[in-house]
């Protein structure tokens, strides 16, 4: 809706892919242990037009790498990130798989190429993704995103100590985005004003991050959550965790991703992280991840992914 968004990499959670040679004639066996799913791929080329994201990534990446035919491979995927949780799990798995395939064939891909390949899988998964998840994972840097403009990575002046609280509820980005679009079409003036307010909060949050103003950033996180509540994309479980975090002393907190479940994030001072984590668990968090964002970064322009 023309407004900016910010995403940051989560260092405490990882997706992993391993690629090993398989016996001749076995084709490609792709195992996603966390999903309990195995694919037998007899022809890599036939996967390019398929609707399942992970086999598609295999075929699409092998084609990009100019690997002839269908190599005999055994691929295993594991991930610390819960599925449909607002943490970019699908993008993280896609990037891990792309890099593992490239590495197996002795190739090293630039972040832009990895991001572009992962974006194609995101389109299958989510319909009309922003491209922000695959970008932040591929570049491993905070990203500033406005649809229709090149993305930017940007600098963190002071480390951001974050707690991530998992509601345990799966959330479909495709469904939530569709519902928001429907209410916007029904009352465009009301929701355009709300989107504009959310965009202003994002702009102020970027300035706070670049200036190292953590108290202001915390207040803006909480303000953003309030606006997202107005938008109708929160839920009782998320609201309960956000309230628990702020009551326990967090500088601010908000839902992450599309909402309606998944995860929330809280900005905390390191000395009270344990107390806030305990409050989140007491409020029903299935899991709490403690992570930090804060490596000084070089500003860079990131080409917007093609929607064609």
Active site residue 290: no
**Angle of helix 188-211 versus helix 214-231 axis, rounded to 10:** 160
Phi, psi (deg, nearest 5) at residue 264: -125, 160
- Cα 169 from Cα 95, distance rounded (Å): 24
Q: How distant, in Å, are the alpha carbons of 67, 130, 266, 290 from that of 257? A: 35, 11, 14, 18
Q: How many CB atoms lie within 10 A of CB 68?
A: 7
How is residue 197 written in tokens?
Answer: 């307010």
Distance CA 102, CA 75 (A): 13
Helix (H, G, I), strand (E, B) or coil at 88: coil
Catalytic residue among 72, 133, 213, 239: 133
The answer to whether the beta carbons of residues 40 and 94 sit under 8 Å apart is: no
Active site residues: 133
């Amino acid at each position: 809706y023309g407004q900016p968004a910010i995403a940051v990499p989560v260092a405490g959670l990882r997706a992993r892919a391993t690629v090993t040679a398989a016996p001749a004639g076995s084709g490609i066996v792709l195992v996603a242990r966390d999903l309990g799913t195995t694919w037998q791929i007899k022809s890599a080329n036939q996967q390019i037009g398929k609707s399942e994201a992970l086999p598609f990534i295999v075929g699409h990446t092998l084609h990009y790498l100019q690997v002839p035919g269908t190599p005999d491979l055994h691929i295993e995927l594991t991930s610390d990130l819960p599925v449909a949780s607002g943490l970019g799990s699908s993008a993280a798995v896609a990037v891990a798989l792309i890099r593992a395939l490239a590495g197996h064939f002795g190739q090293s891909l630039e972040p832009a190429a990895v991001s572009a390949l992962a974006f194609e899988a995101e389109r299958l998964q989510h319909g009309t993704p922003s491209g922000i998840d695959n970008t932040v994972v591929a570049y491993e840097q905070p990203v500033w995103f406005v649809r229709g403009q090149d993305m930017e990575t940007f600098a963190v002046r002071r480390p951001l100590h974050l707690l991530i609280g998992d509601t345990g509820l799966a959330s479909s980005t495709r469904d939530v985005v569709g519902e928001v679009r429907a209410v916007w079409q029904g009352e465009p003036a009301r929701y355009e004003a709300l989107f504009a307010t959310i965009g202003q909060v994002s702009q102020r949050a970027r300035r706070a991050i670049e200036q190292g103003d953590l108290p202001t950033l915390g207040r803006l996180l909480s303000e953003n959550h309030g606006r997202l509540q107005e938008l109708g994309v929160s839920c009782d479980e998320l609201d309960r965790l956000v309230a628990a975090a702020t009551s326990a002393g967090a500088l601010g907190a908000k839902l992450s991703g599309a909402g309606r479940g998944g995860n929330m994030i809280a900005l905390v001072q390191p000395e009270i992280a344990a107390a806030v984590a305990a409050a989140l668990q007491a409020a029903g968090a299935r899991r709490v991840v403690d992570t930090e964002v804060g490596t000084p970064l070089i500003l860079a322009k990131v080409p917007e992914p093609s929607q064609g």
